[in-house]
Amino acid sequence: MRILSSIPSPSVSYFDVGPLRIHFYAVFILIGIAVAIFLGNRRLVSRGGEKWVVLDVALWTVPFGLIGARLFHVVTHPTDYFGPGRNMLEIFAIWNGGLAIFGGLILGAFGAYVGCRQAGIRFLSFADAIAPGVLLAQAIGRWGNYFNQELFGKPTDLPWAIEITRPNLAIPTGLPESSVFHPTFFYEFLWSVFGLAVLLFLDKRFDLRWGRLFAVYLAYYSIGRFWIEGIRIDPSEIFLGLRTNQWSALLTVLVAIGLFVYSRRTHTGTESSIYKAKKAAEETAE
């Protein structure tokens, strides 16, 4: 029996259904969104929310999140889209990869805030309920990177190293043709799945409300992302020795700490309802 010394990458990144071409990257993104909505619905209902009210908020969160994820990627990788020999229309080719999670969090949070205002839900209550599902969605979405042969790390001789088909612009020049790489997308998958268990345990043990579970999610993901980002070799802007997403991770940890401290100081009581006061009164009257 032959034991693999490395893991091959998929030979295809899409499949055709009649005239329609479906990319695995998009499939995993959509599955992740569906899973996050499903889990978020269960958690919101368990906290007194109406069934599927999560969809009312998701209608704002998902589009804003996707736009933010793409914009952040384009802004932090300008040489991929602008300059001699580049095609600016590639900005819209998201099926080729290039959705930055930190950008998705920024505009996705804005979209969620708007959606929560429309639905009469407290934003931080919604964020706490959806956080585990978002982390699981990120884990699922990383498998799209596997089919796109992207987000791999430095060369390694570990038995779970991944083979990457040449040519690939993310492979630095001068590396031997036999080089195989850290599957950093898989490391992030494992980190996120383990984090899902951590979030659910902490929530059950400490009943983290008023944005505290969301803060834990932000910090947990960013700590892992900082380390994983450090062994990636795909092109990235470098500032003071750190990649753009490492700086993003550090900033997000600071935001998470600030949110947790703010929540502890301003919300000392029990979260009686996920709805704002006026909406909660209407629900009680009914």
Q: Tokens 């999670």 belong to which residue?
A: 101
Is residue 222 in a domain? yes
Is residue 5 in a domain? no
| Per-residue pLDDT at 285 | 46
What does the block give as tokens for 110? Answer: 């804005």
CA distance 165 to 167: 6
Is residue 170 in a domain? no
| Per-residue pLDDT at 1 | 35
Number of domains making up the chain: 1
Is residue 70 in a domain? yes
Is residue 52 in a domain? yes
Q: If we measure between CA atoms, which residue out of 184, 135, 126, 178 comes closest to residue 157?
A: 178
Task: State the residue range of the domain holding 248.
Answer: 19-152+180-263+270-285
Give the pLDDT means over successive 10-residue stretches in the chain (286 positions). 72 92 94 97 95 96 95 87 81 83 96 96 96 97 95 94 92 92 97 98 94 98 97 91 96 98 91 77 50
Is residue 140 in a domain? yes
What does the block give as tokens for 151? Answer: 């987000």
Is residue 122 in a domain? yes
| Per-residue pLDDT at 268 | 83
Is residue 163 in a domain? no
What's at 36, amino acid-wise?
A
Q: Indicate whether this model's pTM tops 0.85.
A: yes
What is the separation, in whole angstroms, between the first and last Cα of the chain? 68
| Per-residue pLDDT at 89 | 81
Other C-beta atoms within 10 Å of 67: how many? 16
Q: If we measure between CA atoms, which residue out of 2, 162, 29, 174 comes closest to residue 97?
A: 29
